[in-house]
Amino acid sequence: MRVRILGTAAGGGVPQWNCGCAGCAGARRHPGWRRTHASIAVSGSSAGPWYVVNATPDLTDQIEACPDLQPEPGGRRTPLAGVILTDAELDHTLGLFRLREASAVRVLSTDAVWRGLSNGLRLAEVLAPYTDLSWQDLRADESVPLDGGLRVRAVPVSAKRPRYAADEPAGEWSVALRIDGERGSLVYAPCMADWSAELDKELADADCAILDGTFWDDQEPSAAGLSRPTATRMGHLPISGPAGTAERFARLPARHRLYTHLNNTNPLIDPDAPQHALLAAQGIAVAAEGMTLDL
């Protein structure tokens, strides 16, 4: 299995258009700090077909930055076979509207996520005049086969709904993904409100784990003066501190242990921040956009 890191930022990206925090200001001065919305692409082989995990507002730019996802010269035969969603948040779904030129778009998500997109964003209704949109249920109790010999299964991590779906009923609104290939396995969890027993079981034998690194510590949102709630109240386990994931992450047997989905307030936005060395000492790194992992 081949994994391409397409984006690594939380909602708004880095820099965020209306923010002048240290991270955003630094990204405006130093292009190397810039990050697009968190997403990956996976394939059973280097030749594709490819599945994008989360369709971000940056999706078409991310495709242009990744030659493996680009069409061959002379036609519109895209290697993109479908989109797998971990949740229904806007920063993970708005890119679906940017795929309207496709002859067909296959979406895999939980029933709750599809219901939210259909009722709240009118996704199917809006895209119907443009493309053939199909949906496949992503479940926790069985793996769904994908083209190229991959299989994917949902791992529930949160019941947090997007704001636009606040009136929708409870369900599996946010999941991690367990993706298995012929010789490797990946757990991708860009948003984690809880390190559940189910998630722990999937991580125990994964070759690669890419986890929620939105905030460095629990008080970061309020300390930055941008939000009153703590990281955990916002549905994200922080990296450090009593509620942090780093120590537990370091104990995993995975060959690749990476954080993603960095908020613009996270000190890890700065490539020279000392927090990188603290993670490296534990065998953990921050995912870099454009990185390729062969599992």
* DSSP per residue, 64-107: HT-GGGSPPTTS---SEEEEE-SB--HHHHGGGGGGTTSSEEEE
Question: Residue ranges per domain, the chain?
Answer: 2-294
- Looking at the domain 2-294, which fold is it? Metallo-beta-lactamase; Chain A (3.60.15)
Average pLDDT of the residues of the chain: 95
What does the pLDDT look like over 221-265, one tens digit per residue? 888 776 678 999 899 999 999 989 999 999 999 999 999 999 999
Counting Cα atoms < 13 Å in the Cβ hemisphere of 102 gives: 23
pLDDT of amino acid 72: 87
Interatomic CA distance for residues 248 and 82, integer angstroms: 33
What does the pLDDT look like over 39-66, one tens digit per residue? 999 999 877 799 999 999 999 999 999 9
Asked if residue 121 lies in contact with residue 164, where contact means CB atoms within 8 angstroms, the answer is yes
pLDDT of amino acid 226: 67
3-class DSSP assignment, residue 162: coil
pLDDT of amino acid 227: 67
pLDDT of amino acid 89: 97
Q: Largest Cα–Cα distance of the chain, in whole Å?
A: 55
pLDDT of amino acid 222: 81
What does the pLDDT look like over 2-49, one tens digit per residue? 999 999 999 999 999 999 999 999 999 999 999 999 999 999 987 779
Report yes or no on whether pTM surpasses 0.95: yes
b (16+ CB within 10 A) / e for 124-154: eeebeeeeebebeebeeeeeeebebebebbb
Interatomic CA distance for residues 91 and 251, integer angstroms: 30
Q: Which residues contact 117 (CB under 8 A, 6 or more apart)?
A: 88, 93, 96, 109, 123, 124
What does the pLDDT look like over 262-295, one tens digit per residue? 999 999 999 999 999 999 999 999 999 999 999 9
